[in-house]
Structure 1
C-alpha cells in the first residue's frame, strides 16, 4: 500500500491540502505508537493505503482512543471482512474501487438473488465483474475456436479485443491493447457495520475513465 499512499500524499499536496504526517508500518495488532501522535494532531482525514486486514484493527483502535478524523483508503478496503473486524469504527469511512457494490448495477439484481440463494450470502466485491469476465472469456474462446479447432492463446486474446459484451455490470469492450475503452471508478462509503450489508455501501461518486493513450 505504500505506492498508493505516496501517490495520494503527492496529489493532495499538489491540490493545496496540508499533509500533517506520513508513516508506514508493518504492525498488525498494536497501533498505539502511531495513534497517539495522530490524536494530538487531530487531522480532518486519515488515509490508510493498505489492505483491510491491517487497516481494520488500526481504525478500530483509533476510534477506541478517541480519534474523530474521517477515514479513507483504496480498494484494499473493499471486503466485508473490514466491518467484520472493525465494526462500527468504519461506518461512514470512504474507499475507492474499480468495482462498485452489486447494488449499483441494475442488471445484476437477478445474479445477486441467485448468488444469495445458492451460497447463503450476498456477493462479495468483484463477484459480478468475475461473472462478466468469465462470460467474455467463453465468448472469445468460442469465436477463436473456428468450428472446433483448439484456439491458441493469441487467437483468444485477439478475439477478446473484438468483443462488445453487454453483461450484468454494463457494456464492455476493449481497445487493441486489451484495455477497456471505458472503465468505471467509484468513491464509496461504508453504510453499515453488518458484513452482510457490504454490498449496500453508498455510492458517493462514479467516474468514467477512458483507456490510456498509446503514449502513456
Structure 2
C-alpha cells in the first residue's frame, strides 16, 4: 500500500496512543447516598474518594487508570442487590467497598460471589455477613458478637445498670446487635425487660410510655441515628433521663441535630475512634476538611480504611501477576490473605471467613452538644 506522509503520521499517532493507553481498573462502593442515612453514606463515600486519590499515582506507575464508581444503595437490600448485579457485569470493577448496612451487604455479597468480586465492608457488623463463609466477603469492623458484649459490658460495669430495656430497628444490623447485648446481659445477671423491635420513625409515644412504666436503669437501642435521634428527642421530652446506649449506627453528627436537647447521656460503641484521638488521622482530617468543607467523622475513617485494604489488595495482586492487571479471583485471594498496614485504625488482616483478626472498640459519649471518647475495649472475632 502506498503511504502518504499524512498516512504515516496518522498511523504513528495511533500506534503511540495504543502503546500509552492505560488499562482501566475500577473499584465500586455501596452506601446510602440519598435518603435518611445519607449523612453516614456520604461520609463513607468521601473517605473512599480520598483513598482513591491517594493511590492513583501508584496505579499509574503500573500502567493502570484507577477509577472510583460509587453506587447509591439507599440502605435498601433490593436496590443494593441490583447495584451489585451491575457491578458484576462491569469486568473492569475488581472489588467493592461496602456496603454499610448489613441488610444490604448480605444479599449484595451473595450476588457478587459467583463472579468473585471481593467486598470489604466498612461498617456491616451482623454475624451472618461472614458466618456464611463467602470467599469474597471481608470487613474491617468488629462483629455483633464482639460489639454487643462490649456494649453489655459497658452497661453493666460503667453504667451499673441492673435492669435494661432493649429496642431494635428490625434490620439485620439492629436485631443482631440487640440480640447479642441481650444474651450478654442475661449471662451476667442483668435483668432484660424486653427486646422490642420497631420500625417506627416518628411517633414513639407508646414505647416511651412502656419505658416509663418499667423504669429501667438504661436503654439499649440497636438502630441508626435517624431513627434513634427522634426516639431520644421524645424520650427526653417525656422526662426520661436514663442512659441510652447503641452501636456504631449512632456515629453521626446528625444525631445531635435530630435529637436536639435529647442528645444527652447517650453512648455508642464504634470501631472508629474520634479522628482527633488518632495520631495517624491528623493529615487525613485536614485533607477531608479541605476537600469536602466539613469535618471527618467515624464513617469517613471506616470508608478510607476499607478502601485502602481494597486498593492495596489490588496492587498486591498486580505485582504478583508480573505487573499486569489481576483477575477478580486474584484480587479476592490477595485481600483475604493480605496484611494491611497504614490504616487509621491500625494494621489489619482477616481470618478464614473474612473477619478482622483483632480490633479496638471505642465507647463514645454524647452530651452537651459534643461527642467525646469514654473508654476503649480490645476485641477479637468469636470465630478463628
Alpha-carbon distance in structure 2 between the residues aligned to 1:212 and 1:154 = 27
Q: Show the counterpart of 2:189.
A: 16
Partner residue in 1 for 2:244: 71
Which ranges of structure 2 fall in alignment gaps of 5 or more residues? 1-173
Do residues 169 (structure 1) and 345 (structure 2) align?
yes
**Partners of 1:7 and 1:74 in 2: CA distance:** 11
Corresponding residue of 1:182 = 358
SS at 1:43 equivalent: coil
The answer (yes or no) to whether the contact 2:312–2:340 under 8 Å persists in 1 is no
Residues 1-216 of structure 1: matches in 2 within 5 Å? 1-145=174-318, 146-160=321-335, 161-175=337-351, 177-193=353-369, 201-214=371-384
Q: CA deviation at 1:93?
A: 0.6
Secondary structure of residue in 2 paired with 1:48: strand
Report the structure number with the largest CA radius of gyration.
2
The count of corresponding residues between Structure 1 and Structure 2 is 208
8 A Cα contact 1:165 1:173, kept in partner: no
- Deviation of 1:46 (Å): 1.0
- Contact kept, 8 Å, 1:100 with 1:186, in 2: the verdict is yes
Structure 1 residues 36 and 15, CA gap change in structure 2 (3 angstroms): same
Q: Equivalent residue of 2:193, what SS? A: coil
Q: Distance in 1 between matches of 2:292 and 2:376?
A: 29
> Any stretches of 5+ residues in structure 1 without a counterpart?
none
Other structure's SS at 2:192 match: coil
Tell me the TM-score normalised to structure 2 length.
0.50
Alignment deviations for residues 22-74 of structure 1 (CA, whole Å, 9 cap, x no partner): 42222111111111231233221011122111111111101001012111111
1:144 Cα shift? 1.4
Deviation string 1:138-197 (CA, Å, 9 cap, x unpaired) is: 22222212344221122112223233322333222334544323122222111442xxx5
Q: 1:175 to 1:32 in 2, by over 3 A?
A: closer
